[in-house]
Every structure is written in structure tokens, then in C-alpha cells.
Amino acid sequence: MVVQVLSDAQRRRWDSSDDALFYAQPRFVQHLDDAFRQRLTQLYRERIPPEAEVLDLMSSWVSHLPEDVTYAGVIGHGLNEEELAANPRLQRHWVQNLNREQRLPLDDASIDATLIVAGWQYLQYPEAVAAELLRITRPKGQLIVAFSNRMFFTKAPQVWADGSDRDHLEIVARVLVAQGWPPPQIVAEATRASGWKGLLGGNGDPFFAVIARRPG
Ligand SMILES: C[S@@+](CC[C@H](N)C(=O)[O-])C[C@H]1O[C@@H](n2cnc3c(N)ncnc32)[C@H](O)[C@@H]1O
């Protein structure tokens, strides 16, 4: 059963047109800077064992997994077929608009680690997605939701567009716990920019992650 956390107003967005239109053209760009991506890849290296069946939900042409680690499997999901087809980490993928349909075409307890990078902020029905993720995750499997402080503002529901970084961490955790996930671990860190900016003490994109583990 899905436990609702957000109000209707919190789900509304400036741009309510079909997300498929917004993502119709591939974007072969990095959405997060080098510093964020390095921190994310390090986290994956520490947390995801090679024997894991991995799902990169809300993916693109990059998955940020360590290049030298081979996993049992990596499945991708997103909204743009061309981006997903160009992602070298994915063994298979599918396209699905999660704001239209939240049921995932995956078996119960079939995934060890689900990754969502800079994606949760576009979910209008995160409760139903979180419930589905609990269903498909194996006992002791994990969910890693990572994000920074950027977004396509018009496409983010009001709960995200109007929230602070702290609000974002809190709402992801609250939605997960409401669906039966145990209280997640929170990571909130500054990063050091790469190159000259970093040498001069400049920061990169801030790094936030909510990490939940299904009980064994
Ligand atoms: C900023 S991109 C991040 C892509 C990728 N995770 C990365 O790290 O580069 C946001 C992604 O969220 C996904 N997304 C956004 N709205 C979506 C929706 N309604 N249904 C499914 N996926 C969506 C798309 O896959 C899109 O590429």
C-alpha cells in the first residue's frame, strides 16, 4: 500500500506538459560537476559490491559507476532512448515516464542496488516510486538517492522547487520511511572544485545522498 506524504499543491510544477516532450531531444551533457561526480563514484565504489544487480533509475548516457568494476548486471531506466542507448554501463534499459506510471517492470526482490542521481527532484509521485523500489529490492539491498542543489526549475514539483537542501534530504527520507524503508543514512558534504578553482579554495557542487537499506 502506498502512503501519501505530499499534498496536491506540493506535486504541482510550473511546466505541467508531458515530461516526454521535455526529454525528447538527447542531452549529452554532464548535469553535475567533476567534484560531485568523483564523490558519487567513490561512494558507489565503497557501497556496491561487484556481485550486485544494479538499477540506474532516471538515468542518461552516464551512470557514474567506477569504470574498473564489473557488476553482475546494470539495468537502466530514463526518458530518452538515445541517451540510454549511448550509456556504456547499461546491459539493458527501458523508457518510462514515472509521473504517468509508477509500476516498474521488474520482479519482486530482483535488484541489489538502485541508484537515482539528480532525478528524485522531478518525481510528482515519489511515494509510489519508493514503494515500488522496496518491492523490487532484495533483502539487504540498498537505494542510493543522490542530488545536488541544481534542478530544471520548471520541471521540479513545488515541494522541491521551494525547498532548501535540508528540506530535500528530509522529504526524501520521510517518503521512504512512510513506505516501510528503515530510516536512511544521510550524507551532506561540501566538495572541493577541480582545477584552479579548487586550488584557490573554491567549492564544487554540494553532495547530498540518502541511502536506505532493506532489512535482511
Ligand atoms: C538531470 S537528469 C539526470 C540524469 C542522470 N541520472 C545523470 O546523472 O546524468 C534527470 C533525469 O531524470 C529522469 N526523469 C526526469 N523526469 C522523469 C520522468 N517523469 N519519468 C522518468 N524519468 C524522468 C530522466 O532520465 C532525466 O535524464
Buried/exposed code over 70-104 (b: 16+ C-beta within 10 A; e: otherwise): ebebbbbbbbbeebbeebebbeebeebebbeebeb
Pocket of ligand 1 (CB under 6 A): 19, 23, 31, 58-60, 62, 78-79, 97-99, 117-119, 122
* Band of residue 101 on the pLDDT scale cut at 50, 70, 90: very high
Domain-located, residue 3: no
Does residue 173 fall inside a structural domain?
yes
Tell whether pTM > 0.85.
Answer: yes
Q: What CATH number does the domain containing 143 carry?
A: 3.40.50.150
Number of structural domains (the chain) is: 1
Residue-number span of the structural domain to which 208 is assigned: 8-213
Average pLDDT, the chain: 97
Non-local (6+) Cβ contacts of 180 within 8 A are: 131, 134
Model confidence at 118, in pLDDT bands (50, 70, 90)?
very high
Helical pair 126-136 and 165-178, crossing angle rounded to 10 deg: 50
C-alpha cell at 172: 526524501
